[in-house]
C-alpha cells in the first residue's frame, strides 16, 4: 500500500515538471514549457524582461515583447515578436514547438505567430541574454555556434548595442528599424531607417518611399553626413564586405543603457541614454535644415553658416533664378559652361572641401585606383561629373568613386570631412582661379590694415594709459597738498582772499606766504597788507586760474589807493570802486569776510575811467550806448570790447536801487563766465543801496533772465529784510 502511494506521488511530480512554467527568476524556457499571463523571463543580470504586454488603447490586443526590467515607471519596449499579428483571444502563451520554433498560441490554442526555421537542428531552449537578445540554441548555452535563431536579426523600432543594421546577403536577412504605427499599435508604420547598398553604402530615413534624411556615404572612416558621430562612451562599427554590410555600436561602460529609436511622429532617428533614471536625448537626425535630403537640389550644396543656406557649386548657376530668390532650391543648379568632353585640356577639376559626399548609391567604385588614375578615368567619360577618394581610413585617400549622375545631397561642414573634385570647363576654372587670387589679395590687404590699425591702437592705448597715470598721480599729489594746507591752517586764515575759479583742480596749495587774518579792511589799506595780498594774487594767477587776477599795484593806481572820490557806489557787500582790466572785483566792506566757497568764484565787472565817475554818469553813458567812454585811456587796446560791455552791464545790475533786483553772487559768476548767457537790462541805479524807488521794475526783466541762476551764496548777510545776501 505504501509503495503504491509513493508511485502515485512520483507520477504527479513528473506531470508537474512537464507542465512547469518559469518564474520571474528564470531567463530560459525549454521544450514543452510555456510563458503565459503575467509571467516573465528576466535576463541573468536583471536588465531585460520578456513577457506579454498590451499597449494603452490597444483594445485587448496582446503582444509578447522585451523591455527594460531595471527601469521603474512606464514600460520601455525594445522588441515585439508579433507586431503584425497580435493575440486577440486571451490568454496567450509563448512556447517552443517540437520543430524548434518559437510560437505564440492564443486562447483557442491556435498558432498566431512563429519564428523562422532554425538554422541549427534540435533546438532545446530559448534564453533571454543581458544584451536584450532572445536566442534559440541547441544546447541552451546561448553561445554563437549553437544559435539557431535570434531576435536581433528581426529588430522592430529600436537598435540596441550589439545589434546589426544592414544587409546579410549570405543569410538573406535585411535588418531595418521601423517606427510603430502609433503608441497603441506596434505594427510597422511609415517611417523606416535602412541601409541601401550599391556604390558606397549609406543609410536613409524614409517616410514611405520619400527620402527624408541620409547619413551620407561611408568613406572608410566615417559616414560623411554624420562627421560628429564620435563619443567617448560609444564605439561605432561599419562592416562593408561582399557577404555582409551593416552598422553597429557598442558601449564601453556596461552600466550605461542606450537605444537608437525611429520616431514616427517626429520622423527622426533618435539616440537615448538613461541618466538618473530618465531617458535623455543624446542626438537626433535630421538636426537642421541642411540635414534634409537634397535640400539644395542637383549640383547645389547646403551650409548652415550661410544665409541663405543653399549655394550652387563653383561653375554652376541656379536653374531657376526666380525660384532660387524665393528660397525654393529644389530645382538645383546647372553648369555655367558646358563641358568640352575632348578628353584633353578643355576640361579640368575644381576641388571643394569639407564636404558631405554626394549620394553614392548610384556611383561607381574602383577600389584599386589612385586619385590620378581616377582623374584620367573621369576625363575619359563625358558623363563623369565628379570624383573622390573611396576610402579615407587612416587619413590617406585610396580607391576611387566616380559620379556619372547628378550630384545630390551635398553639404559643407566647418570641419574637415572630405574633398570632392568637380569637373568644369577650363574657362570656368580660369575664372575661379582669378577670383580666388583677387580674394586672396584683398584678404592680405585686410589683414595688413587690421595689423596696422591694431598696432596704432595699441600704441595710442599705451600712451593714453601713461597719460592717465600721470594725470591721476598729479591730481593725487595736488589733492594731498591741498589737504595738508587745509589741515595746517587755522580757520581765521581763510577769512580774506580774492575770489577766483580754478579751471581744473578742485584745490590748490597755499601761496608761499599767506596774508594774516584781518578784522577789517579800510579804504586806505596798510601797505604791507596790500603787498601780501598782491603776493597771493600772483600765486593764484600762476595756478591755472580761468580768469586771471590783476596785479595789486595796478589796482591801487586805478582806485587812487581806494580813495573816496574813486568810489562809484555801494552794493550789498560794501562800497564799489572803479574796476580794472583784469576782470577783478575791487570792493571793500567793514569786517569783510569771504568764505572758502567764494574764493572759488571769479566776479567780473568792468574797467572804469581813471577819473572819478559817479553811477548816474555810468548809467547815462550806458543808456546812450557810450559806455566805452568809461575806460581809462591807459588801457589802450589790451581788452575785449564785448567783455568790457558785459562787465559794465553786470556792474550796473549790481548797484540797482532795489536789493531784490540785484543778482546773487553765484549769478554774477554765471553771467561773467559765459559769453552766451542772456543778461537782463539794468534799471536806473540808486546811489544809496538803502533807498527805494517808487516803482519796482523787477518784473520788467524776469522774462530775459538767464536760466542758469542759482540761489546759493555764502557771503555774510547784511542787516536787511531780504532772506539772502545780494549785491
SS (H, E, C) 65-79: EEEECCCCCCCCEEE
Q: Which three cell numbers stand for residue 147?
A: 544559435
Q: Which three cell numbers stand for residue 431?
A: 575664372
In 3D, which of 646, 495, 655 has the Cα closest to residue 574?
A: 655
* N residues, the chain: 727
Residue 177, number of CB atoms within 10 A of its CB: 19
Q: Taking a C-beta distance cutoff of 8 angstroms, is the pair 93, 34 a contact?
A: yes
Sign of the alpha-carbon torsion through 320, 321, 326, 332:
positive
Q: Which three cell numbers stand for residue 415?
A: 570641419
Sign of the alpha-carbon torsion through 552, 553, 557, 561:
positive
Please tell me the predicted confidence (pLDDT) of residue 639. 66
- The more confidently predicted of residues 482 and 425 is 425
Ordered by where they begin, the domains of the chain are 23-154 (2.90.10.10), 157-287 (no CATH), 303-433 (no CATH), 611-685 (no CATH)
Q: Which three cell numbers stand for residue 403?
A: 559620379
C-alpha distance from residue 321 to each of 61, 299, 335, 393, 669 (Å): 55, 14, 13, 40, 73
Dist CA 658 CA 518 (whole Å): 31
- Lowest model confidence (mean pLDDT) among 90-104, 186-200, 354-368, 483-497: 483-497
What mean pLDDT do residues 70-86 have? 91
Q: Taking a C-beta distance cutoff of 8 angstroms, is the pair 164, 237 a contact?
A: no
What is the Cα 655 distance to its own chain's centre? 67
Q: Which three cell numbers stand for residue 232?
A: 567617448
Dist CA 17 CA 12 (whole Å): 9
Backbone angles phi, psi at 353, to 5 degrees: -115, 175
Please tell me the predicted confidence (pLDDT) of residue 578. 54
- The more confidently predicted of residues 275 and 176 is 176
* DSSP per-residue string spanning 606-675: ----SS---HHHHHHHHHTT-GGGGS-GGGTT-S-HHHHHHHHHHHHHHTBSSGGGSPPHHHHHHHHH-T
- Lowest model confidence (mean pLDDT) among 46-50, 131-135, 319-323, 504-508: 504-508
In 3D, which of 602, 622, 604 has the Cα closest to residue 613?
A: 622
pLDDT of 10 strictly over 70:
no
Percent of the chain with pLDDT over 90: 40
Backbone angles phi, psi at 317, to 5 degrees: -130, 160
What mean pLDDT do residues 617-624 have? 82
Q: Which three cell numbers stand for residue 492?
A: 581765521
DSSP tag of 392: -
Sign of the alpha-carbon torsion through 689, 693, 698, 704:
negative
Q: Taking a C-beta distance cutoff of 8 angstroms, is the pair 669, 601 a contact?
A: yes
Q: Taking a C-beta distance cutoff of 8 angstroms, is the pair 655, 571 a contact?
A: yes
Dist CA 66 CA 151 (whole Å): 10
Dist CA 38 CA 163 (whole Å): 27
C-alpha distance from residue 684 to each of 396, 568, 704 (Å): 104, 14, 17
Please tell me the predicted confidence (pLDDT) of residue 703. 38
**CA–CA–CA angle 618, 620, 621 (5° rounding):** 65
Beta bridge partners of 412: 355
Residues 639-657: tens digit of each pLDDT: 677 778 888 888 888 888 7
In 3D, which of 541, 500, 496 has the Cα closest to residue 522?
A: 496
Is 471 strand, coil or helix? helix
What mean pLDDT do residues 564-585 have? 53
Please tell me the predicted confidence (pLDDT) of residue 635. 64
pLDDT of 628 strictly over 90:
no
Looking up cell 532572445, which residue turns up?
A: 134
Q: Taking a C-beta distance cutoff of 8 angstroms, is the pair 129, 135 a contact?
A: yes
- Lowest model confidence (mean pLDDT) among 96-100, 111-115, 399-403: 96-100
Q: Taking a C-beta distance cutoff of 8 angstroms, is the pair 211, 204 a contact?
A: yes
* Number of helices (H), then strands (E), in the chain: 9, 37
Residues 514-547: tens digit of each pLDDT: 333 333 333 333 444 444 444 444 444 444 444 4
- Lowest model confidence (mean pLDDT) among 373-377, 390-394, 417-421, 605-609: 605-609
Amino acid at each position: 500500500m505504501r509503495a503504491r502511494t509513493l508511485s502515485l506521488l512520483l507520477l504527479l511530480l513528473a506531470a508537474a515538471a512537464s507542465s512547469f512554467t518559469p518564474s520571474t527568476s528564470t531567463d530560459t524556457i525549454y521544450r514543452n514549457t510555456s510563458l503565459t499571463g503575467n509571467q516573465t523571463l528576466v535576463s541573468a543580470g536583471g536588465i531585460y524582461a520578456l513577457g506579454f504586454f498590451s499597449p494603452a488603447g490597444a483594445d485587448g490586443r496582446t503582444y509578447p515583447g522585451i523591455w527594460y526590467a531595471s527601469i521603474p515607471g512606464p514600460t520601455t519596449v525594445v522588441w515585439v515578436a508579433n507586431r503584425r499579428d497580435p493575440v486577440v483571444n486571451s490568454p496567450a502563451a509563448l512556447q517552443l514547438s517540437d520543430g524548434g520554433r518559437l510560437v505564440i498560441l492564443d486562447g483557442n490554442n491556435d498558432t498566431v505567430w512563429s519564428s523562422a526555421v532554425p538554422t541549427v537542428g534540435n533546438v532545446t531552449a530559448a534564453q533571454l541574454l543581458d544584451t536584450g537578445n532572445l536566442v534559440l540554441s541547441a544546447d541552451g548555452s546561448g553561445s554563437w555556434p549553437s544559435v539557431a535563431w535570434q531576435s536581433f536579426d528581426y529588430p522592430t523600432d529600436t537598435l540596441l548595442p550589439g545589434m546589426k543594421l544592414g544587409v546579410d546577403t549570405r543569410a538573406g536577412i535585411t535588418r531595418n528599424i521601423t517606427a510603430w504605427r502609433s503608441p497603441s499599435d506596434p505594427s510597422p508604420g511609415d517611417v523606416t531607417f535602412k541601409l541601401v547598398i550599391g556604390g558606397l553604402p549609406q543609410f536613409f530615413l524614409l517616410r514611405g518611399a520619400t527620402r527624408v534624411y541620409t547619413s551620407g556615404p561611408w568613406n572608410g572612416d566615417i559616414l560623411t553626413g554624420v562627421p560628429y558621430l564620435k563619443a567617448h562612451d560609444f564605439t561605432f562599427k561599419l562592416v562593408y564586405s561582399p557577404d555582409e554590410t551593416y552598422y553597429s555600436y557598442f558601449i564601453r561602460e556596461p552600466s550605461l543603457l542606450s537605444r537608437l529609436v525611429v520616431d514616427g511622429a517626429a520622423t527622426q532617428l533618435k539616440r537615448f541614454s538613461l541618466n538618473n533614471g530618465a531617458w535623455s536625448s543624446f542626438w537626433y537626425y535630421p538636426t537642421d535644415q541642411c540635414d534634409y535630403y537634397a535640400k539644395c537640389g542637383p549640383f547645389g550644396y547646403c551650409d548652415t553658416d550661410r544665409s541663405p543656406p543653399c549655394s550652387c557649386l563653383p561653375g554652376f548657376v541656379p536653374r531657376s533664378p526666380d525660384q532660387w530668390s524665393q528660397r525654393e532650391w529644389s530645382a538645383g543648379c546647372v553648369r555655367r559652361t558646358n563641358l568640352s568632353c575632348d578628353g584633353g585640356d578643355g576640361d579640368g577639376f575644381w576641388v571643394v572641401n569639407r564636404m558631405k559626399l554626394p549620394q553614392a548609391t548610384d556611383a561607381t567604385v574602383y577600389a584599386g585606383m589612385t586619385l590620378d588614375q581616377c582623374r584620367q578615368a573621369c576625363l575619359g567619360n563625358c558623363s563623369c561629373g565628379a570624383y573622390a577618394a573611396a576610402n579615407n581610413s587612416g587619413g590617406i585617400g585610396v580607391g576611387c568613386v566616380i559620379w556619372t549622375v547628378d550630384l545630390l545631397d551635398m553639404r559643407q561642414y566647418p570641419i574637415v570631412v572630405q574633398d570632392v573634385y568637380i569637373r568644369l570647363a577650363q574657362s570656368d576654372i580660369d575664372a575661379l582661379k582669378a577670383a580666388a587670387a583677387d580674394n586672396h589679395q584683398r584678404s592680405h590687404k585686410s589683414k595688413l590694415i587690421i595689423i596696422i590699425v591694431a598696432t596704432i591702437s595699441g600704441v595710442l592705448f599705451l600712451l593714453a594709459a601713461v597719460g592717465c597715470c600721470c594725470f591721476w598721480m598729479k591730481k593725487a599729489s595736488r589733492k594731498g597738498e591741498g589737504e595738508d594746507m587745509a589741515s595746517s591752517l587755522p580757520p581765521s586764515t581763510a577769512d580774506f582772499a580774492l575770489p577766483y575759479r580754478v579751471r581744473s583742480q578742485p584745490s590748490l596749495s597755499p601761496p608761499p606766504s599767506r596774508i594774516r587774518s584781518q578784522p577789517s579792511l579800510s579804504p586806505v589799506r596798510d601797505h604791507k597788507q596790500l603787498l601780501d595780498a598782491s603776493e597771493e594774487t600772483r600765486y593764484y594767477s600762476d595756478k591755472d586760474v580761468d580768469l586771471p587776477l590783476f596785479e595789486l599795484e595796478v589796482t591801487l593806481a586805478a582806485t587812487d589807493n581806494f580813495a573816496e572820490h574813486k568810489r562809484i557806489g555801494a552794493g550789498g557787500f560794501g562800497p564799489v570802486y572803479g574796476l580794472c582790466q583784469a576782470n577783478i572785483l575791487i570792493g571793500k566792506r567793514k569786517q569783510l569776510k569771504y568764505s572758502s566757497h567764494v574764493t572759488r568764484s571769479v566776479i567780473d565787472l568792468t574797467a572804469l575811467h581813471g577819473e572819478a565817475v559817479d553811477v548816474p554818469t555810468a548809467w547815462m553813458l550806458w543808456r546812450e550806448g557810450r559806455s566805452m567812454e568809461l575806460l581809462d585811456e591807459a588801457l589802450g587796446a589790451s581788452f575785449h570790447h564785448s567783455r568790457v560791455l558785459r562787465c559794465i552791464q553786470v556792474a550796473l545790475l549790481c548797484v540797482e536801487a532795489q536789493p531784490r533786483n540785484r543778482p546773487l553772487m553765484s549769478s554774477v559768476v554765471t553771467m561773467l563766465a559765459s559769453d552766451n548767457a542772456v543778461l537782463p537790462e539794468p534799471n536806473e541805479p540808486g546811489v544809496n543801496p538803502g533807498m527805494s524807488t517808487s516803482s519796482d521794475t523787477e518784473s520788467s526783466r524776469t522774462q530775459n533772465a538767464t536760466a542758469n541762476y542759482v540761489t546759493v551764496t555764502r557771503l555774510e548777510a547784511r542787516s536787511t529784510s531780504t532772506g539772502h545776501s545780494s549785491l
